[in-house]
Amino acid sequence: MTQAVIFDLDGTLIDTEPVWDAVRRELAAQDGIEWPESASRAMMGMSTREWSRYMSDVVGVGPTAEIVARRTIDRLIERYDRDLPVLPGAREVVRRLAEHWPLAVASSSPRDLIEHALQALGVRGLIAVVRSTEEGTARGKPAPDAFLWAASQLNADPARTVVIEDSASGIQAGLNAGMPVIAVPRPFLTPPEDVLAGASVVLEHLDDLTVDLVRDLTPPFDPVEPLSPS
């Protein structure tokens, strides 16, 4: 029986993956750097520390990873304040599931962006636990660290904790945590078919994410031990 639900944020509740990509490309252009197309997919799921280093060391945006992170986050907050792209059904699905299970958000976004978005969505009070992969010693997705930490804070068995994700790295993180995953992929950098095949369910829309579907996903038997966080 399901004990808890963990949502991803970007691409799952808010359609911000393209916004992140546009902001990063703008910063590269400002520094006179041509954007490598492989960078967009490579950075999906990375923590702030990881993607800022990637942008600095691999793409060449500068002057330092720390400054790259701050430039990116500040630009994103401006975009969120101007027009947060909420996905259809996002508010409703959070409210619907919150009536039955404790909820968490585990995201690769920095904490201030997560909080900013959840407040703008009007669902912050329904989220019991928030985890950014930049906090503590957590590794970015596809490592299972953020999901396992969130489940532990909710006193939930990982095998009875349902993950809602959109990206390849996020889906893989949920699987690495030993959790059933509901995939709701977006057109932007859609996960490969072999990754989607690992999800328990693949949906086209958040409106299709029902209480009965979440309730029936988790097994009645003792779970296999998941990978441990570092």
Domain ranges within the chain, ordered by starting residue: 4-15+85-215, 17-82
Of 17-21, 52-56, 60-64, the one with minimum mean pLDDT is: 17-21
User: Stretch 140-153: mean pLDDT, rounded?
Assistant: 94
Tokens 């509740």 -> residue = 13
For helices 90-98 and 111-121, what crossing angle results, to 10°? 90
CB environment 49-71: b (16+ within 10 A), e (fewer):
bbbbbbbbeebebeeebeebbeb
User: Stretch 109-125: mean pLDDT, rounded?
Assistant: 93
Of 4-8, 60-64, 131-135, 181-185, the one with minimum mean pLDDT is: 131-135
User: Stretch 83-109: mean pLDDT, rounded?
Assistant: 96
Confidence of residue 223 (pLDDT cuts 50, 70, 90): very low
The stretches of 64-144 forming alpha helices (DSSP H) are 65-82, 90-98, 111-121
pLDDT (0 to 100) of residue 221: 45
CB environment 170-184: b (16+ within 10 A), e (fewer):
bbbbbbbbbbbbbbb
| CATH architecture assigned to 4-15+85-215 | 3-Layer(aba) Sandwich (3.40)
Total-model pTM: 0.84
Residue 187 pLDDT more than 90? no
Show the CA angle centred on residue 129, arms to residues 127 and 130, nearest 5°. Answer: 95
Mention the CATH class of domain 17-82: mainly alpha
Label the pairing between strands 129-132 and 103-107.
Answer: parallel
Residue scoring higher pLDDT (7 or 120): 7
**Which residues, listed in sequence order, are joined to residue 130 by a DSSP beta bridge?**
105
Q: How many CB atoms lie within 10 A of CB 74?
A: 10
Confidence of residue 8 (pLDDT cuts 50, 70, 90): very high
CA gap 124, 74 in Å, rounded: 21
Residue 156 pLDDT more than 50? yes
